Amino acid sequence: MAVEGPGKLKCLSLEAATRPAWEGYARGKREAWLPHLADWSLRVVPALGHECRSFMVVDEQGEVRGLLPLGLRRSRLFGDSLVSVPGASWAGPLAQDEVVLEAMMQEVIRQACECRVGFVEIRDGERLPEPFGVTSAYLRFPIHLESGSGLPVPDERTRRRLKKAHKAGVRPVLTNPDCGELHEIYSTAMARLGSPALGREFFRALASSFGDELRVVLVEAGGVAVAADLVGFWNGLGCSLFAGATDAGRSAHADLIAIEAGLRAAADRGCHTFDLGRSPASSGGQTFKMHWNPRSVPLGYQYLRSGCGDPPDLNPDRMLWRAARTVWKVMPSWLQARLGPAVARQLL
């Protein structure tokens, strides 16, 4: 579908016919990340049960001037929304200039009205023009990697724990993204936190779409897998996407070994940065990650508030969500497995 933008610009939906042009533009942009690639919108977003609404902006010569990965997320719990982009901690627009960005925002507003959504969420650190508002409830944690200078050094306590884990024979293995242990360990960790886990079909879609760009760091203690981290590598950036550890893994500091192995894998691939992923501000996740001395960078999630409703308040410190986590923790594991993917996809 083509929609006229301001001036001579036109908005084209991402589909099979426009995929080559989309890929050519995304792969040529320094600031692009895996969720900007076409397969995230065409394969990963549908695997979550959402609708791809991604589009690109072209000029009168048909040259791509920008793109926005976008998904329509239907939710009975939190209301319908347009998100850039479901399944990813950050994405947002890639735009040649302010005129192109303005064309994108007009198209987003048009789609919001057409789909009758409650709100629009753009997961991006760059400030968008009005009528978007910004919240920075989440942080990401990048660590700079310098070629030939060795791995970054964590704080003294973490170094002691790593040394103890290595001495005990806790060891990481780098394996393919379709590793079956990943989902089992991730689900166990999410249940311990009182959060629903995404289903296996989501991870299968990631593995089939980005097999060359993904690896699983599987950490074993006593011959048993006790921690796992799905790591993405692309465009000079390595990033922890989904990670977890069993109780035994945490006791053996296997979660720290997983981070160390992810850092080493990123350095071996020539990445300039390794990102520890997203965590809420002032959370336990932030405290854990700060032991590696990363930068803490606000993820400026931006919401369309004019003509649409306010987004739900998902602050994990709210009493409502604390109570929900408590209930989820005591729920039988079979019920968690049955309900978890349906709930989790409405959050991601």
Q: Which of 129, 162, 183 is the last residue of a domain?
A: 129
Contact assessment for residue 261 and residue 174, using Cβ atoms and an 8 Å cutoff: yes
Question: Are residue 228 and residue 166 in the same domain, yes or no?
Answer: yes
DSSP code for 225: E
Q: Is residue 37 part of a domain?
A: yes
Q: Is residue 332 part of a domain?
A: no
Q: Which of 278, 298, 318 is the last residue of a domain?
A: 298
Q: Is residue 194 part of a domain?
A: yes
Residue 22's domain spans which residues?
A: 2-129
Q: Quick one: pLDDT at residue 44? A: 97
Question: Are residue 285 and residue 172 in the same domain, yes or no?
Answer: yes
Confidence band of 77 (pLDDT split at 50, 70, 90): confident
> Mean pLDDT across the chain, nearest whole number?
90
Q: Which of 253, 276, 298 is the last residue of a domain?
A: 298
Q: Quick one: pLDDT at residue 236? A: 95
Question: Are residue 262 and residue 231 in the same domain, yes or no?
Answer: yes
Question: Are residue 291 and residue 153 in the same domain, yes or no?
Answer: yes
Task: Give which of 200, 230, 205, 202 is closest to 215, Cα–Cα.
Answer: 230
Q: Is residue 204 part of a domain?
A: yes
Question: Are residue 144 and residue 193 in the same domain, yes or no?
Answer: yes
Question: Are residue 147 and residue 255 in the same domain, yes or no?
Answer: yes
Q: How many CB atoms lie within 10 A of CB 74?
A: 15
Place of tokens 């998904």: 71
Number of domains in the chain: 2
DSSP code for 127: P
pLDDT tens column, 156-214: 999 999 999 999 999 999 999 988 899 999 999 999 989 999 999 999 999 999 999 99
Q: Is residue 310 part of a domain?
A: no
Task: Give which of 177, 118, 179 is closest to 346, Cα–Cα.
Answer: 118
Question: Are residue 192 and residue 233 in the same domain, yes or no?
Answer: yes
Question: Are residue 265 and residue 172 in the same domain, yes or no?
Answer: yes
Q: Is residue 68 part of a domain?
A: yes
**Stretch 302-327: mean pLDDT:** 70
Q: Is residue 15 part of a domain?
A: yes
pLDDT tens column, 12-35: 999 999 999 999 999 999 999 999
User: Packing angle between helix 180-193 and helix 333-347, nearest 10 degrees?
Assistant: 90
Question: Are residue 153 and residue 241 in the same domain, yes or no?
Answer: yes
Question: Are residue 60 and residue 79 in the same domain, yes or no?
Answer: yes
Question: Are residue 146 and residue 292 in the same domain, yes or no?
Answer: yes
pLDDT tens column, 319-332: 777 788 888 888 89
Question: Are residue 37 and residue 181 in the same domain, yes or no?
Answer: no
Q: Quick one: pLDDT at residue 218? A: 97
Q: Is residue 326 part of a domain?
A: no
- Domain of residue 109, CATH code: 3.40.630.30
Q: Quick one: pLDDT at residue 49? A: 94
Contact assessment for residue 52 and residue 14, using Cβ atoms and an 8 Å cutoff: yes
Angular region, 325: left φ>0, alpha ψ -120 to 50, beta rest: alpha
